[in-house]
Amino acid sequence: MKCYRNTPGVPRPVLGLLAACLLALPLTAAAVGLCSGRMINPITDICWKCVFPITVGGVPVASFGAEDFAEGSAGAPVCFCPAPPPVFVRPGVTISFWEPVRIVEVTREPYCFISIGGVKLAPGVFAPGGTIKAVAAADKKTSSAFYQVHYYIYPVAALIDMVTKTACMDPTPAFDVGYVTELDPLWADDELAFILNPEAVIFANPIAQMACAADCVAASVGFPLTPLFWCAGCQGGMYPLTGNIQSSAVTSGGVASSALMVQRMLYKLHRQGLLWGSVGAGALCGKYPMPILTKGQYKTQLTYPVPETLGAGPLMPFCCQPLGRTEALWGIGKEFPVKGEDFAYLIWRKRNCCAF
């Protein structure tokens, strides 16, 4: 693993860079062991139907019944982007598709890297382990859990040269570890994380949380509601942006808890400037800062412990799920004792771009 280069024009917070660099330490300087995990097989573990729908010039080319985020459409079929002199402006055609670009894994065991075969590192930096304290359904308020999360750069479409090399390609084609929460002091401390999400106090009330029921319904039948950015659909609330959960997601099981962790991690990385917006007309000529997450930009596909490649039957034929969709529709049978209590998700990102 290497400490990868910055993408030009994208600021990198010190914590993210520190995480990547510490993982680059020689393995001889840290004890190496094994934990639960498995490398993702791009042939058998990835549901390639998730790349659809694809539109070119605003015209659908192929959909195969896949879900699309209508709010993230690019608009006009023709686009214009800045170009170096003497051209100054370059015309192009709008393209929309979903690209598999990242992996987010949720683990109870610190420094256990599920998606690189279950390798466990010991870099000498203490990190708290995962905890799960679920109680009876009548007293859900005391249910709590804590997980560590790892974020990988995994542009598999670029790695296998699946997409033509145009301006729409992800500029970071190398597999790499991008962020580990074990090295982030904000991840385990709700009060310290207030630095990232001071607006959380506005939504810490019953009325704001009741609105999340509408987000849950919307995500379960389509995509989550963009205005309700503080909601994580059926999994609860986005805030705080930490690994601590105190909600019904804990009593619902590990799938619900891990889905909530994925949403919080994506939001956290957007807030820190590590992830940018890629949907809408504003993304045609390049990504743009998105400190408040547009949840419809992402779909997730479970890859560990049970790859979600076929859908869950007639009621849920999709193998990629929008953020916040109830796990009752897609999470049945995706968790089992001991080796099936940690989770990894492939992140599909909607991309609007101007191809020329």
Report, as an integer, the average pLDDT of 266-284: 95
Q: What angle do CA 255, 346, 303 make, to 5 degrees?
A: 55
pLDDT score at 16: 41
Compute the Cα dihedral for 179, 182, 184, 188 and give only its sign.
positive
With a cut of 90, say whether residue 243 has pLDDT above it: yes
Average pLDDT estimate for 38-60: 90
Q: What is the dihedral of CA 131, 292, 201, 218, to 10 degrees?
A: -80
Domain ranges of the chain: 14-355
Q: Is 53 left (phi over 0), alpha (psi -120 to 50) or beta?
A: beta
Condensed to tens digits (0 to 9), the pLDDT of residues 315-327 reads: 667 899 999 999 9
Residue 144 has pLDDT above 70, yes or no: yes
226 compared with 338, residue with greater pLDDT:
226
Q: Supply the pLDDT for residue 340.
A: 87
- Please state, as a whole number, how many other Cβ atoms lie within 10 Å of the Cβ of residue 44: 8
Distance CA 354, CA 17 (A): 30
Residue 64: what pLDDT? 85
| Alpha-carbon gap, residue 166 to 94, rounded angstroms | 12
Q: What is the pTM of this model?
A: 0.87
The pLDDT value recorded for residue 170 is 67
pLDDT score of 124 more than 80:
yes
- Yes or no: say if 216 and 224 are a contact pair by the CB < 8 Å rule: no
